[in-house]
Each structure stands twice: as structure tokens, then as C-alpha cells.
Amino acid sequence: MTLNLALTSDQVKKVVETVKLNKPVYADMLDFYGKIFAAQEMSKGRIQIQPLQISEEMRNVKVSEQFSLIAIKEFLFDEPEAGRLFFVICNLAKEANPKLAADAAAILKAVDNVIKPGELFSGLLNGEDPLYEKIAGELKISETTLGFISYNSLKPSLSLCADQLSAYLKKEDPWLKGYCPICGSPPVLSILEDGGKRSLICSFCWHSWSAKRVFCPYCENLDSKTQHYFYNEGEKEFRVDLCDGCKKYLKALDARETERMIYPPLEQISSLHLDYKAKEMGYESGIPLAMQV
């Protein structure tokens, strides 16, 4: 049975509550993120984007060369819907910690004046860091917060685009790379299932793809002697894979060790203590700093 990672907004709310009960230390954080996740899943149902078309010839070249199907700048997004979510997330952030709340209030005040959400979205996909630097400087806000709100507003469009594009990926063409076959980004999480099945989850578009059980996606190391893992007693559903080839780590969720539903963005947030521990042990995250929570 394939694990269902596509949850509805109500299912997301439910699983967030379950994790909050199990991990009270994350309660405040999950109150905030849980509302964002639920808003994103609601938003998905309203998004209208035309599926990206890739010719058979292009698809075959990409697959045989092991190139991702698209580059990040090619993602399509529903601008009005992402803009609406931008407001929702800013308003949620206004209820969060004081620094985030102050930044969110400044962003809301500047919309349509200094800030045009559509430009932020295109800027993010095109890697236009100077645009973010300029706005953050002008409004005296954190660039990370501006990036966080923009990315999370775009995320439902990105996932939908990735879902549509996944139709071009065929089971008979194994993907042996450590980056996302849709957009080329590194994985943020790995999921283990029955029968030795392992999936990697993209840190940008959240597409999931199958990977070998012993394989470091960051350096493509297949040697089991230089890869190990640790886990905390009492939290057996999580483990952290460590690679001595590149000194990077990747968190893994073992679906066989939990009865609850699994929602990758929630798993990523509610296991940040494992990131700290892996870093203390001298390993680095394999995802870009901007994508780390």
C-alpha cells in the first residue's frame, strides 16, 4: 500500500493536534504552522493553473540524462490565489512572536506600495535576492521573514505544478539521483515504509520519489560502511541518517513506527531538535539555508 501524503485541510488540523499532544514543547510553534498548513491545503482546492506541457522528445532527453523536468524558474503559479494566501499568512504571523508580528505588520502596510506580491513570487522563482534585500532594507524587516511568507504563499501552486508534472515520470525509468526529478532541489526528509521502500521528499516542491535504502542523496554515496544513523529512545518514528562521505544528515520518518497520518511539512517542523543534535555531532543540513526553518 502506498502511503497517502496528500492530506485535506481537516486531516492536517487533526494530525497537528496529535503531534502537539505528543510534543508539547512544539505547541506554540505548531499552533502557528498548523494554521499555515491548513490554509495551504484549502488554497490548493482553489488554484487554477494550466498544466505545463513537455514534449515526448524533451521528456526522454531529461529522463535519460537524469535532468530534472523543469528548472525552478519554470514553475507556474496562480497569482491571485498566492496573493490571497500571502495576506492570510501575514495575518497569522501578526499573532506570532513579537519580531515576526512586527515584520508581518510592516509587510501588510506596504502591500501595493513598496511590496507587490506578484513581483515577490516571480523574484523568488528567479532567485532575485537583490529584490528581497532591497524591500527588507526599505521596510527594516527580516529578509528571511519576507522569503518565508512569499515561499509559503507559493507553495500550494508549486505542489500542484509538481503533481501535474509527475505524470511525465514513469515507473520504468528509475531515478537514481539525489535531487528532485521534478525541480532539481535536494530532499528535506526521507520516508521509510514496509518492504524496504524509501521515498525522498523535495525541499522545494514537496514531490516524493523512490530512492535506494542505503544512499546519501547529497553525495550519492552507496557505501553502507560510511553511513549510519541515530534516533532518540521514545521517538522511534524518527531517525537521522548521517553520511561520512559528505558530513551531511537527512532526517527520516519511519512510517512503520507510527499509527498517525503523515504530513511531511509537519514532520520537518516537529523534529527540529534532531537537526540541532545532528549539527552538534558535526553534520550539516543538505538543504540551502533559505529553505531551513
Residues that bind Zn ion (CB under 5 A): 180, 182-183, 185, 202, 204-205, 207, 216, 218-219, 221, 243, 245-246
Nearest to 5 by CA among 185, 206, 271: 206
Contact 162, 207 (CB under 8 A): yes
Q: How far is the CB of 113 from Zn ion (least distance, A)?
A: 33
Instruction: Give the nearer residue to Zn ion in terms of CB position, either 145 or 190.
Output: 190
Residue 142, CA atoms < 13 Å, CB-side half-sphere: 13
Instruction: Give the nearer residue to Zn ion in terms of CB position, either 152 or 221.
Output: 221
Non-local CB neighbours of 211 within 8 Å, separated by 6+ positions: 175, 178, 190, 198, 199, 200, 217
Q: How far is the CB of 169 from Zn ion (least distance, A)?
A: 11
Contact 52, 45 (CB under 8 A): no
Instruction: Give the nearer residue to Zn ion in terms of CB position, either 140 or 225.
Output: 225
Question: Checking DSSP bridges between strand 187-192 and strand 248-254, what pairing results, if any?
Answer: parallel
Contact 234, 241 (CB under 8 A): no
Q: How far is the CB of 145 from Zn ion (least distance, A)?
A: 23
Instruction: Give the nearer residue to Zn ion in terms of CB position, either 36 or 180.
Output: 180
Q: How far is the CB of 245 from Zn ion (least distance, A)?
A: 4
Instruction: Give the nearer residue to Zn ion in terms of CB position, either 166 or 258.
Output: 166
**CB neighbours (10 Å) of residue 255?**
19
Instruction: Give the nearer residue to Zn ion in terms of CB position, either 16 or 205.
Output: 205
Query: Buried (b) or exposed (e) across 71-94, using 16+ Cβ within 10 A?
Result: ebeebbbbeebbbbbbebbbebbe
Q: How far is the CB of 192 from Zn ion (least distance, A)?
A: 18
Q: How far is the CB of 53 from Zn ion (least distance, A)?
A: 18
> DSSP secondary-structure letter at 185?
P
Q: How far is the CB of 120 from Zn ion (least distance, A)?
A: 20
Q: Is 9 exposed, middle or buried (0-12, 13-18, 19+ CB in 10 A)?
A: middle
Dist. CA 104–CA 36, nearest whole Å: 14
Amino acid at 44: K
Q: How far is the CB of 74 from Zn ion (least distance, A)?
A: 12
Instruction: Give the nearer residue to Zn ion in terms of CB position, either 20 or 248.
Output: 248
**201 φ, ψ (degrees, to nearest 5):** -110, 125
Instruction: Give the nearer residue to Zn ion in terms of CB position, either 92 or 243.
Output: 243
Contact 146, 158 (CB under 8 A): no
